[in-house]
Structure 1
Amino acid sequence: MGGQVVTPVGPADVNLRLGPSLHGETVVNVAPLGNLAFDTHAAPLRFEARISQIRLAAAEEMFQNPEAITQIAASIGSDLRQGVIQLFVQAGVAAVTGAGLVALVLFRDWRRAAGSALTALLTFSAAGGMAFYTFTPSAVSEPRYTGLIAGAPQVVGSAEDAILRFTEYQEQLAGLVGNVSRVYEATSTLPVYEDDESTIRVLHVSDLHLNPAAWEVIESLSEQFQVDFVIDSGDLTDRGSAAEDTFADEISDLETPYVWVRGNHDSMGTQRAVEAQSNAVVLDDDIAEVGGVTIYGTGDPRFTPDQAADNPDSDEVAAIGARRVETVRDADPPVDVAVMHDPVQARAFTGEVPLVLAGKGHQRSSEVEDTGTRVLAQGSTGGAGVQGLDDDEPTPYEASVLYFDAETKRLQAWDDVTLGGVGLSSAQIERQIEEDPDREVTPPENPPVTPGSTPPTPGSPTRTPGEPD
């Protein structure tokens, strides 16, 4: 109750709030557009700033007098610092006084009331001190933006209604991505990657699973972030049947190159359908240079919709990956990115390339191996397709925009984009910074042991029996 103050910051009156929280963070409320959140400290305190009022006279002076802008910019830091100090003092007094009064009412003992007040003082001081000593100013370079598009629930409706009005839903998704991207760019204090000519921008998608709404998301992200090309780590379809081949025709509508590898739900027929697209770059144990980046890719050795096929197990998949590493090891120029569908197969490439992209699990993850290789697994850009409707909670649409240095071809940062699943209208964009983009990449001391079994040859996945090729 005592953790609120209103302080003037430039031409605005800013409401500062402080409260307990399991996750220490700083939140800037840009209502009605959404929130920007920063992991600025480790203490169990949540600090929130919200503009409560704009003083028109001060704002008009700022726009009419260029010198006023400079003066305001110089004073904002001290204004905010003064407000934060006042907030912490007021919150501390409220916590101590409140604890003492409540204890006095409950116990009717001045000593126990004083002990309660002292406990509150020590607790608040410890939390405040921890927030001060763990404060990380650089956290503002990795914001999380969360917001809602006005009216989306009325347009989209429930999950059942979204199926009946899917065209409108697709358009809403695209509009939502655009709105959030623009707000994110306009309100975030970020390193500039979007318009930097020395940066290569790549959109990483995966596991579309025949969801037509995924194309709206991909197209909108490609335009908003001005990506140079798209990488798809597989599972374009659900069954890999001939009837699903037309889904690949949407690739040619994109205005950027589309790098693709076969997933375990994609057949060789699916692969040929993708190859038929003019802007597609299909990699199946191949290396190609796209947009200045040297990429190795290979298809998944399994085709799981065909239950009659003798699909390799996980150990055999890892062994296949270990054997295909030779293609990357001898490459000239060296490979910058390796793309596979299954992270099990992709793990064999750790220590051989700086970055490995994968999918399959419908859950985003990122990890730097001891070898220096980052393995980035993408979630499902198609919300897991029909499978995503089976769970109590819809599977979110996930994609990432990767930023590479145009000279070194090393990953510098990436934006993780997350949209609410079918029927939802939430959106979040979170920037991640590569702490050591030029780190050394070295092969592991104990490389994977190849089992003695003979793997299927590349390209062995076929159609489900009875389906046309």
Structure 2
Amino acid sequence: MARATRRLSRQSVRSALSRAGGLPARVVRRLRAAAHPRPPELELTPGPRPFVRALGMVAVTLLGAWLGLLIVGSVHKPVGPMDTTMTLRPSFTGGTKINVAPLGALELDTHHGPLRLDVDVTRLDPDRAGYLVENPERFGELQDMVASDVESGTRDLALRSFVAVVAGATALGLAVYRRPRRALLAGGMALAVLAASGATAATTWNPKAILEPRFSGLLAGAPSLVGDARRIVTDFDVYQQELARLVTNMSKLYNAASTLPTYQPDPNTTRVLHVSDIHLNPAAWLIIESLVEQYEIDVIVDTGDTMDHGTAAENPFLDPASELGAPFVWVRGNHDSRTTQKYLEDMENVHVLDDGEPLEIAGLRLAGMGDPHFTPDRRVQIEDESEQVVAGRRLAAALRTSKVLGKPVDIAVGHNPTLVEQVDGEVPLALAGHSHNRKQRVLGKGTFMMIEGSTGGGGLRAVEQDVPERVSASVLYLDDETGRLQAWDEITLGGLGTTTAEVSRHLPPDVEPGSSPSSDEPAGSPAPTGSPSPTEVPSPTGTGEPGEEDDDNRAAPARRETPTPVPTG
């Protein structure tokens, strides 16, 4: 019915037009519009331009690829006895960055491109290091082993990075566009970017970049601290061979400390491990931990210079101090800052000595004074020792106060021997470091002062020296009732490039040879029998000569000495 009505309406309009002889066009259009009504049109928002859509896709692709690398793009790979973490990171310049905590990092212009290779050296694995020492024939293969591990790690990193960037870009594309086709497009673009980056790195690879490293962090100040640290890499053909040798020697030092013969003293003896001047050498923690276990140490006393610059960036290096198996007592050295001291004060099982405040631990009473000087590098030189004298006198006054209160101190502790000399006559025993030269002497009023060498083998300084600095530590045996020193063992390990180790027993001046080190009597039972000291641990490779030692590093103390046997059981 309606259709017929519309048909009649159109016919009537035509008839009217024909009768009228024609109308203006504007009127005709209006009549036609009325005869043919159209549904209302929807107004759509204009879509984004093509280049905007393309830019958004690129942004999603790059962001997704970066998130993929960040979350799952790392490879944990052992390189020789070292544990490392390898990662690809977005970069405008490319290159390689090697992070060596806590020293800082060095950067190499190995390649160009949008990706940088980050290598984090995390720790020395004692099990793998011990295996190398137990199988000395593997030392010659270490360089090839390291090269093979690096090659394997690079392959694993490439495969993992491929999966990471494709998965990351695809997942983010799906989350943003909610269309599988666009998500797959994002994943494909990410793969293309990774392939192009790899091709760019391969074509711009520069193996000579090792000759021009850029130091950052603490390593940036290395020349001011130890001279020209770039000497390490001026001849890469030599250095790549020495690199494996350095790792080998660290392994041997750890093993030597693990197998040193121990002493079985009288039960009424407190054992104190005296260490000093570690200077950021991570191998020192392994050696200390091994000595604590072997000698059943009651307390560790560190006479300072554990750090090099005393910066907050170095603080994580101190973390092992709380887990050495014995309480760790520390006094500030001239390379340690107040920041260093505050970090240690907040650690468990660590005790800081300063301002002469007495500390009772392991049946002993100790007091110390932090070094008044702070000389973080060679540019800061202080020749005037007057501040050391003033600080030492403050410590002596605190010791006298403790004595008046009926709590006499057994051991005074400081870093600089000049400071420690001021407590002469106030305590029976005083410990110091600083000189990297082990010495003992009786002061004018009877105090026995023991200066320890460097337990870190001089730290970074050892890299430059033609003659390696020895690693030194001492085990002190004190009567647990009187707190008096009965005997001590000097433990000396060969530094970088050598593999010797020896331990020798000594008696203080007030204990006559032939008496038991843990006896209060000047004479008594003969010394135990066994192999005469010093006892040497032979080098697995024969690179070190037993008995080779500078007189400066082995200054004889003012005491009588016994050819102490050190039982090997």
Q: Common fold, TM-score beyond 0.5?
A: yes
Question: By how many angstroms is 1:172 displaced?
Answer: 2.9
Q: In structure 1, how many angstroms separate the alpha carbons of the residues matched to 2:241 and 2:342?
A: 35
Decide whether aligned partners of structure 1 residues 269 and 233 sit closer, same or farther in structure 2, where only a CA change above 3 A counts: same
Q: Which residue of 2 aligns with 1:318?
A: 389
Higher-Rg member (1/2): 2
Structure 2 residue corresponding to 1:154, chosen from 124, 127, 139: 139
Structure 1 residue corresponding to 2:287, chosen from 214, 217, 237: 217
Mapped contact 2:389–2:419 kept (Cα < 8 A) = yes
Mapped contact 1:341–1:359 kept (Cα < 8 A) = yes
Question: By how many angstroms is 1:178 displaced?
Answer: 2.1
Does 1:246 find its partner at 2:320?
no
TM-score (norm 1): 0.56
Question: By how many angstroms is 1:180 displaced?
Answer: 2.7
Decide whether aligned partners of structure 1 residues 223 and 312 sit closer, same or farther in structure 2, where only a CA change above 3 A counts: same
- The share of aligned pairs that are identical, in percent, is 43
Mapped contact 1:203–1:227 kept (Cα < 8 A) = yes
Structure 1 residue corresponding to 2:477, chosen from 403, 406, 410: 403
Unaligned runs of at least 5 residues, structure 1: 1-147, 186-191, 440-469
Question: By how many angstroms is 1:177 displaced?
Answer: 1.4
Q: Which residue of 1 aligns with 2:37?
A: none
Mapped contact 1:206–1:378 kept (Cα < 8 A) = yes
2:261 aligns to what SS in structure 1?
helix
Q: Which residue of 1 aligns with 2:463?
A: 389
2:496 aligns to what SS in structure 1?
coil
Superposed CA deviations along residues 375-406 of structure 1, whole A, max 9, x for unmatched, are 10000000010112222111000000000001
Question: By how many angstroms is 1:435 displaced?
Answer: 3.7
> Higher relative CO (CA 8 A, sep ≥ 6), structure 1 or 2?
1
Structure 2 residue corresponding to 1:294, chosen from 346, 365, 373: 365
Mapped contact 1:299–1:341 kept (Cα < 8 A) = yes
Q: In structure 2, how many angstroms separate the alpha carbons of the residues matched to 1:159 and 1:382?
A: 22
Superposed CA deviations along residues 285-342 of structure 1, whole A, max 9, x for unmatched, are 1210110110011110000127898968213311221233110011031000000000
Q: Which residue of 1 aligns with 2:507?
A: 433
Counterparts in 2 of 1:44-123, with a 5 A limit? none
Which ranges of 4 or more aligned residues in structure 1 deviate by more than 6 Å? 155-160, 306-310
Mapped contact 2:332–2:371 kept (Cα < 8 A) = yes
One-letter code aligned to 2:400:
R
Question: By how many angstroms is 1:170 displaced?
Answer: 3.8
Q: In structure 2, how many angstroms separate the alpha carbons of the residues matched to 1:276 and 1:167?
A: 33
Q: In structure 1, how many angstroms separate the alpha carbons of the residues matched to 2:469 and 2:354?
A: 29
Q: Which residue of 1 aligns with 2:258?
A: 178
Does 1:355 find its partner at 2:429?
yes
1:367 aligns to what SS in structure 2?
strand
Aligned-pair RMSD on alpha carbons?
2.7
Question: By how many angstroms is 1:149 displaced?
Answer: 8.4
Decide whether aligned partners of structure 1 residues 223 and 370 sit closer, same or farther in structure 2, where only a CA change above 3 A counts: same
Does 1:208 find its partner at 2:278?
yes
Mapped contact 2:303–2:431 kept (Cα < 8 A) = yes
Question: By how many angstroms is 1:154 displaced?
Answer: 3.0
Q: Which residue of 1 aligns with 2:489?
A: 415
Q: In structure 2, how many angstroms separate the alpha carbons of the residues matched to 1:160 and 1:343?
A: 40
Q: Which residue of 2 aligns with 1:29?
A: none
Q: In structure 1, how many angstroms separate the alpha carbons of the residues matched to 2:351 and 2:137?
A: 36
Q: In structure 2, how many angstroms separate the alpha carbons of the residues matched to 1:321 and 1:223?
A: 34
Q: Structure 1 or 2: larger helix share? A: 2
Question: By how many angstroms is 1:160 displaced?
Answer: 6.7
One-letter code aligned to 1:305:
P
1:423 aligns to what SS in structure 2?
coil
Counterparts in 2 of 1:449-460, with a 5 A limit? none
Superposed CA deviations along residues 75-121 of structure 1, whole A, max 9, x for unmatched, are xxxxxxxxxxxxxxxxxxxxxxxxxxxxxxxxxxxxxxxxxxxxxxx
Decide whether aligned partners of structure 1 residues 242 and 414 sit closer, same or farther in structure 2, where only a CA change above 3 A counts: same
TM-score (norm 2): 0.46
